């Protein structure tokens, strides 16, 4: 089977269209995650609290989950 014939079969079977749909959704979620991470890291409350919380996690005085939850609450304005 030549490459052209194989490509036609893939396209005709909807495989390529399905792959493109999945890629588009994956790209959307990647953009959302990247945007959220950038906003999170730029948030003034997070910027202020992050060094101390990271240090507490690093030395074992705070659990990573507790520090993450605290930072997320600050980010959400809670």
The answer to whether residue 35 is domain-embedded is: no
Report pTM.
0.74
Question: Do 48 and 19 reside in the same domain of the chain?
Answer: no
Domain that holds residue 49: 43-78
Tell me, yes or no, whether 47 and 22 share the same domain.
no
Three-state secondary structure call for residue 35:
helix
| Higher pLDDT pick, 18 / 9 | 18
Number of structural domains found in the chain: 2
Q: Is residue 37 part of a domain?
A: no
26 occurs within a structural domain: yes
- How far apart are the C-alpha atoms of 76 and 37, rounded to whole Å? 13
Task: Report yes or no on 72 lying in a domain.
Answer: yes
Is residue 47 domain-shared with residue 16, that is, in the same domain? no
Number of residues that this document lists for the chain: 78
Count CB-CB contacts under 10 A for residue 53.
19
Measure Cα distances from 7 to 2, 15, 78 in Å: 9, 10, 53
26-56 pLDDT, tens digit per residue, is: 999 999 999 999 999 999 999 999 999 999 9
How far apart are alpha carbons 36 and 46 in whole angstroms? 13
Residues 1 and 23 in one domain: yes
Average pLDDT over residues 18-32: 96
């Amino acid at each position: 089977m030549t490459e052209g014939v194989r490509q036609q079969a893939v396209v005709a079977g909807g495989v390529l269209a399905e792959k493109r749909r999945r890629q588009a959704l994956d790209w959307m979620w990647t953009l959302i995650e990247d945007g959220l991470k950038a906003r999170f890291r730029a948030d003034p409350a997070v910027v202020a609290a992050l060094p101390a919380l990271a240090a507490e996690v690093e030395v074992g005085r705070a659990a990573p989950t507790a520090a993450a939850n605290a930072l997320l609450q600050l980010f959400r304005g809670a």
